[in-house]
Structure 1
Amino acid sequence: MIISRDSLRKSIREKRNKLSKDQQQRAGQELVNTFLQLDELKASQHIALYLSNDGELSTQPLIEALWNIGKQIYLPILHPFSKGNLLFLTYEKSTQLIANRYGILEPKLSQQEIKPVAEIDMICTPLVGFDDKGNRLGMGGGYYDRTLENWQHGSKGPFPIGIAHDCQQVDAIPTHSWDIPLPKLVTPSKIWQWNT
C-alpha cells in the first residue's frame, strides 16, 4: 500500500511533536556534535540555516556553535514579491525577528542584509521526513525545491544539507519530478550521505 504524502507528513509531524522538551534539548546538542564533523563545513563560511518550528529539531544550539567558530549565518524569509520563493538575510544576535504568515520567525526585510543564494556555501534545509535514498518530504510549499533547483542542474550554488530528528526517517518517500533529493543529511546520531 502506498501512503500519500499528506498522511505521511501528518504522522511524522505528530511523532516529532510528541518529543519531550528534554528530548528536544538533547537532540539539539547532539546535532551540534554531529554537524561539526561535516567535511563541507571547513570550506563553508556562509551558511543558511532556519529557526525551528512545529517540533523541528532545534537549530539554535547549532547556530550559536557556528557563530562561535566564526561562520556567517543567514535565515530564509518569504520573498515579498516572488510568490513561493525565499530570500536569505544575515542573522546575528541583534537581528530583529518578526513572524511570517506561517507564524515562523524570520529577519525583518532589509535590502542591505540580503545574501544572494549563489554566494551562500551551504543551505541547511528543514524537512518533515526522509528516506534512505535522500528523498526529502517538506511541508509542501516547494520553497527549498525552487531554491535548490540550480544546484541540482549542476551550476555552482550552495551545498544542500538536510537536518532532522532520527525519528523522521521513513521507508520510502513518494516523489515528484520537481523534488530535489539531498546529497547529505544530519541527524543527532548520524551523517547520511547519498550519491545524487
Structure 2
Amino acid sequence: MRWLKQQLRRQIREKRSQLTFTEKQLAARRVCMRLLQQPEYQKAQHIALYMSHHGEISTNLILRLALKQRKSCYLPVITPASSLEFVKVDSESRLEKNRFGILEPISRTKLIYPWQLDLVLTPLVAFDSTLHRLGMGGGYYDRTFAAENMKKHMPYMLGLAYDLQRINRLPHSDLDILLDMVITEKRCYNKGF
C-alpha cells in the first residue's frame, strides 16, 4: 500500500505542477468563493488553514477575507512529536520556513487545542469518492485528528484541491481521517459524490 500511495503522490503532483500560474490563481479564487458560501465556513469562528506548498491550492485570499470578517485564524506547526499545533495568526504575523520548506508562524504563544477549532482546511495530494485524503505522507493531520481526545469535538474537516486531484479509489487504513467535504475549482464534493 505504501508503494501505491507514493506512486499516486508522484503522478498527481506531476499533473498539478503542469498548471500555469494563471490557472492556479483562478482556481484558488474559485475555491475561495465556493468556501465562503458554505454554512460551515459562515458559522465558524476558529479556522485552521495551511500555507500552500508544492502547488497546493493557495489559501492566501481565504486568510485575508477570514481575518477581515473577524474570524480567528490558525496555522499548523509541526511538533517534535510529529503532530500539529495550531497557532493564531493575523495580518502582522511573521512566518518562517520549517524543515520541509512550509511557512509556519515564528511566534508560538497563541495556541488553540485541535478540538477547539470549528473548521480545518486541509491540504491534500488526492481524494476519492468516500472523501479519503492522501496527504504528503507524514501523517501529521491523521495523527493530530485521530487522537483520543478528538472524540469530544471533531472540527469540520474540509479539503481544498484542484479537480484533477480527484481519483476513483484511494488505498487507506483505519488510521486515516475522513474529510467532510472537498472543494475544488469546479464543485463541492460530499461523501459518495
Q: Give yes or no for TM over 0.5.
A: yes
1:106 matched residue in structure 2: 104
Total equivalences in the alignment = 190
Partners of 1:194 and 1:85 lie apart in 2 by 26
- 8 Å CA contact retained: 2:129, 2:168: yes
1:168 matched residue in structure 2: 165
2:33 matched residue in structure 1: 33
C-alpha distance 152-25 of structure 1, shift in aligned 2 (>3 A): farther
Where in structure 2 are there 5+ consecutive unaligned residues? none
2:78 matched residue in structure 1: 78
Residue identity (%): 35
Task: Using the TM superposition, give the Cα deviation of residue 38 of structure 1 relative to its aligned residue in structure 2, in angstroms.
Answer: 1.0
Partners of 2:78 and 2:160 lie apart in 1 by 20
Partners of 2:63 and 2:182 lie apart in 1 by 17
Partners of 2:149 and 2:43 lie apart in 1 by 20
1:156 matched residue in structure 2: 153
- 8 Å CA contact retained: 1:161, 1:184: yes
- 8 Å CA contact retained: 1:150, 1:156: no
Partners of 1:36 and 1:54 lie apart in 2 by 24
2:14 matched residue in structure 1: 14
- For 1:161, what is the secondary structure of its paired residue? strand
Deviations 1:62-87 (A, max 9, x none): 111212222111000111x32x1111
- Which moved further from structure 2: 67-76 or 151-160? 151-160
Partners of 1:8 and 1:127 lie apart in 2 by 12
C-alpha distance 68-62 of structure 1, shift in aligned 2 (>3 A): same
1:95 matched residue in structure 2: 93
Task: Using the TM superposition, give the Cα deviation of residue 152 of structure 1 relative to its aligned residue in structure 2, in angstroms.
Answer: 10
C-alpha distance 151-157 of structure 1, shift in aligned 2 (>3 A): farther
Task: Using the TM superposition, give the Cα deviation of residue 164 of structure 1 relative to its aligned residue in structure 2, in angstroms.
Answer: 0.6
Deviations 1:37-83 (A, max 9, x none): 1121222101000000101011111111212222111000111x32x
C-alpha distance 152-43 of structure 1, shift in aligned 2 (>3 A): farther
- 8 Å CA contact retained: 2:160, 2:182: yes
Structure 2 matches for 1:120-135, cutoff 5 A? Answer: 120-135=117-132
Letter in 2 for 1:106: E
